[in-house]
Structure 1
Amino acid sequence: MWGAVVVLVIGPLVPLLYASFRSKPYYLPGGVLTVQGYRTLFADPAFWRAVQNTLLFAVGTTVLAVAAGSAFAILCGRTNMPGRKAYSTLLLAPIVIPPLGLIVGWVSIYGQSGYLTGLVGRNLHLPVWNLSSLPGMALLGAAVTIPIAFLTCQAALAGTDSSLEDAARSAGASPVQVIRSITLPLLRPALLDCTVLIFALSLEVLGIPLFLGPPAHIDFYASYLYSAWSGSITPDPSYVSAGAVLLLLVVSVLLLLRSRLLGAEQRFVAAGARGGGAYQPLDLRGWRRPLSLLVGAFIAVTSAIPLLGLVMMSGVTALTTLVPPWHLLTGHSWHQVLTDVAFRRSITNSLLIALLGSAISVGFVAVATLVAHRSRFPLRRTISPLLVYPRAVPGIISGIGFFWSYLMVSPPGAQVRNNLWGELIALSVRNITLAYVVIYPSLARINDEFDRAARAGGAGWWTIARRILLPILRPSLLAAFLLMFITLLNDYDPVVFLQKPGTEVIGVTMLQYWQQGVVGPVAALAVVQVLIVAVVLAIGARAIRRVRHA
């Protein structure tokens, strides 16, 4: 298991590094080791513009997401705001909504030709926003990443003792003073954690610049690499691999920084006899309903209305304020999705990858987690960081790494290079972190007395795992399967360089058709993706309840 984890996680990065130092692609003769790829990259003005745009986008996204996410966490977790329990669930919508579907929904409503943009500008003659600008893209990026800051701060608040806040209120402090003087300082580790994480995630964004950047000629780091790879005269240029290595280095440094910051968390913990359970919410008084309406409006603007726009775009010939939508109803987009071979095949392939990949990944991660935390294997402590690392690797870099791995290492490269198995491996490896973060906390709560008692009865390690630990972990395994299924269905970054005719997946198909100007069928395909996610969530939630009550 340790060898398999090392090969799957670290293995693809070695050929990537090697390819970045070759003068020609690996499959062409005559290549030599050189740093010309890095020189070409640094000499390209478009690269530095992409770097600048990415940094500005990442800073804007991080500031907006952390500020809004922490504010929502405090409102839902520390105040008497009406509807806070429902909002705690609804604020997570961008996590489960397919990312490209959400982007298409935003474009249909708030884009340059969007419905509300036309309504405000053309009909009401008011100044309009520009979604195809760095501030507009940062706003969309923040809407997607706010759930990360919200969950991080919410978890920190749930585990923090409230005695200091209660004492401050007893001394006459107002809710604003309590939040400013006590709650926010206690949240400092969580704020630093989500700041570094969101900033790192913003550096690898691909869908937003590809959908919104062309009108303003704005490229980000990931879209620059994608365009350079797919549009270069020289196949698979080495400077793209060089750019991927540099981005991997930056993200790895940010991950180490995040670990160092989390190491100082105990300095900000307020622990008491009551824990975080007994707490009297802060009274917002006359601000209760206005703030509740504000949070509800935010959810509507960022998630509900774009989803409605996505559905409308899939069912009309054109979404415009000049003609009522019901006068433009058509089934052409849906007919194309249901009859076009590429669209149908992308749906089938994505479902197969999600089903098989989630089952294989959960089984693999479950055994690897048992080795890491319930065995005496000498190298067990290295497994946990290795399982966490893949999600920190940008998806586009992971895809380039697997591309070169399948070319340079054969077997098994030749057997998986041009089929769904290669895409399944790349997607699954990148997302095994999600299965681990679901399974490990449940395993940590199982008393190791079970292991000792079984060993005293003569049971071996695998017998203990198979007969005791894995049955107890069934609810977590099912939850991990559900999360992996949805993620594998929605993810697309790692396979943009691996997809071949016949191996299409939903995300890459949407990217390719959108770039060709095909809008309606892309929206219909995104609606299909949203419906699949909704059905799987409903079935999975019901199954998890049954397993827990069994």
Structure 2
Amino acid sequence: MTAVDTPVAAGRPRAPASVGQAVVSVLVIGLVVGPFVPLVYSSFRSKPVYLPGGVFSLGGYRTLFADPAYRTAVKNTLLFAVGTTALAVAGGTLLAILCTRTNLPGRRAYGLLLMAPSVIPPLGLIVGWTAIYGQGGYVTQLLSRNLHLPVWNLSSIPGMTVFGAVVTLPVAYLTVRSTLAGTDSSLEDAARSAGAGPLRVIGRITLPMLRPAILNCTVLIFALCLEILGIPLFLGGPSNIDFYASFLYRSWSNSGTPDPPFVSAGAVLLLVVVSLLLVVRARLSGAEQRFVTVGARSGGVHRPLDLGRWRRPASAAIGVFIAVTSVVPLLGLVLMSFVRVLTTLVAPWHLMTSDNWHAVATDPALRRSITDSLLIAVGGGAASVALVAVAALIAHRSRFPLRRLIAPALMYPRAVPGVILGMGFFWTYLMFTPGSLVRNNLWGEAIALCVRNLTLAYVVIQPSLARIGVELDRAGHAAGAGWWTVARRILLPMLRPALLAAFVFMFVTLLGDYDPVVFLQKPGTEILGVTMLQHWSTGVQGPVAALAVLQVVIVAAVLLVAGRALRRVDHA
């Protein structure tokens, strides 16, 4: 018996549906908006809020603008953001067109492999790149010593820009590819029938149709670049280069007063800029619909553009790109976890050691970071999906007065820099009495991480919910069932595949995320990302590589099991 056939119990629920809907709505909106209120308040205080004698003051903002290090961090961030956005958008657009609109050999496999940077835990990819392409990296040394080529500097702004483009390229690729999938190819077919070559078709027809999508992902990637923390902390350290987020982190961590007001002021300014970019992106997303040509053949079979003699060279170039950006760094990461030091002066098999893995197995902090991260990924992922599922039902399948606020609230957290969200939760836990219950334990860190990633669960669940006809709701209500009964007995069972996919997405993300916790972690509440960051800053690299490999293995295993489980659920 399917979910549609399941009889719905008649009768009224024990409590009015609006009561439960109000609780869920206030919880979601409060979790998202609440942390920013004390953050803004603290930025206008002359002293940290826990010190007596503070008054309203703009001193934090004046101190911030007068700091030369702040101005340098802003300049570095803008240079990085502009360069990264340009490379990622250009590369992602080109790859999306090649894999979607041409007869490129291996395009289906490449479509999956190009997503590797978004699946690999971020710090693992950074460590892998450092081990291979850093100034002391294996490939860097190999080319410099044997071929006498100039050494590139991965710790420079151009070097970090290249790596940032690799990390954000999947965003542009997915955005452009999804637009191409919903765009009719008849105009391109007509142009080819008139004798236009592939380059002319792409330049005159395909790219103009993609203009709104390209602008959309440009704004999104630029906003993401403003909040990046791991790249400047791992790669910028040797060159003393700070970006906006790392400047806030170092100012907070290295100050005699752990939380100076000017750091909160900097966080508020970045929050305002990112929010404005989100408004711009929302307008671009709305305008994008006017440029999509949908016809009878949209999304159907179309005649791919013939690349001619460039088919195989283009395919080989993409294969090399994937190998250089993802495969080789992963191999370097694994190798780094099994050697005392990775160098070209001595063959790796002469430097093999199990000490790095022994440290992971025996060091209490490292071992605790693994178990804590798994607890948050499993428990937090399940709780987040349950909350988002109910919130999505209220937002899209109810008449509750606050329902129109829920969807924007669910979309906002992931766009906010994680460092800023973490600072907001720090102040919230400090200023309000209930916050003391979670201030110095794993619960507080789990809440911050889960709130940051509510967006991911929502973007998986909402499209599946939109495909379920409202007639099922009406049939349940006609049979006498209340809103909660219809949600529990009809809608949620039909959303089972989406709920499982959302849980897997949350698990993978929560396992690798760390930005919101850098201000919250205390001894005894370690998680993988922050522990790796702290150990790397002290020069302990081998155990960090081992932890990163462990992350990659866990993610790969979960994705493999989840893929099989999703296939069984779809066939059930």
1:362 offset after TM fit, Å?
0.2
1:517 corresponds in structure 2 to 539
Decide whether the 8 Å contact of 2:133 with 2:154 is kept in 1: yes
> 1:238 & 1:123 partners in 2: Cα distance?
52
1:271 offset after TM fit, Å?
1.7
1:312 corresponds in structure 2 to 335
1:26 offset after TM fit, Å?
1.4
2:455 corresponds in structure 1 to 433
1:276 offset after TM fit, Å?
2.3
> 1:380 & 1:505 partners in 2: Cα distance?
35
Q: Which amino acid aligns with 2:426?
A: F
The equivalences for 1:29-48 within 5 A come to 29-48=52-71
1:457 corresponds in structure 2 to 479
Percentage identity across paired residues of the two chains: 71
2:295 is equivalent to residue 299 of structure 1:
no
Q: Which amino acid aligns with 2:303?
A: Q
1:228 offset after TM fit, Å?
0.3
State the Cα deviation string for residues 50-86 of structure 1 (Å, max 9, x = none).
0000000000100000000011100000000100000
Q: Which amino acid aligns with 1:402?
A: F
SS of the counterpart of 2:440? coil
1:339 offset after TM fit, Å?
0.5
Return the match for 1:356 from 354, 369, 379.
Answer: 379
1:267 offset after TM fit, Å?
2.7
2:172 corresponds in structure 1 to 149
Return the match for 1:187 from 206, 210, 214.
Answer: 210
1:263 corresponds in structure 2 to 286
2:326 is equivalent to residue 322 of structure 1:
no
Structure 2: 5+ residue stretches without partners: 1-23
Q: TM-score, normalised by structure 2?
A: 0.95
Aligned-pair RMSD on alpha carbons?
Answer: 0.7
State the Cα deviation string for residues 433-462 of structure 1 (Å, max 9, x = none).
000000000000001110111111101100
Q: Which runs of 4+ in 1 moved over 4 A?
A: none
2:489 is equivalent to residue 473 of structure 1:
no
SS of the counterpart of 2:161? helix
State the Cα deviation string for residues 106-154 of structure 1 (Å, max 9, x = none).
0000000000000111221012211011110000000000000000011
2:277 is equivalent to residue 251 of structure 1:
no
1:268 offset after TM fit, Å?
1.2
1:227 offset after TM fit, Å?
0.3
Q: Which amino acid aligns with 1:538?
A: L
SS of the counterpart of 1:264? helix
Structure 1: 5+ residue stretches without partners: none
1:313 offset after TM fit, Å?
0.7
Return the match for 2:264 from 241, 244, 258.
Answer: 241
1:266 offset after TM fit, Å?
2.7
> 2:337 & 2:322 partners in 1: Cα distance?
22
Structure 1 range deviating more: 76-85 or 24-33: 24-33
Return the match for 2:151 from 118, 121, 128.
Answer: 128
> 1:414 & 1:233 partners in 2: Cα distance?
23
The equivalences for 1:91-240 within 5 A come to 91-240=114-263
State the Cα deviation string for residues 326-359 of structure 1 (Å, max 9, x = none).
1110111111111100100000000000011000
2:393 is equivalent to residue 366 of structure 1:
no
SS of the counterpart of 2:303? coil
Q: TM-score, normalised by structure 1?
A: 0.99
2:467 is equivalent to residue 445 of structure 1:
yes
State the Cα deviation string for residues 291-340 of structure 1 (Å, max 9, x = none).
00000000000000000000111111111111111111011111111110
Return the match for 1:380 from 403, 408, 411.
Answer: 403
Decide whether the 8 Å contact of 2:135 with 2:151 is kept in 1: no
1:235 offset after TM fit, Å?
2.3
> 2:287 & 2:460 partners in 1: Cα distance?
24
Structure 1 range deviating more: 263-272 or 31-40: 263-272
Q: Which amino acid aligns with 2:344?
A: T
2:565 is equivalent to residue 548 of structure 1:
no
> 1:235 & 1:382 partners in 2: Cα distance?
35
> 1:98 & 1:378 partners in 2: Cα distance?
40
Decide whether the 8 Å contact of 1:25 with 1:235 is kept in 2: no
Q: Which amino acid aligns with 2:547?
A: L
SS of the counterpart of 2:556? helix
Q: How many residues align?
A: 549
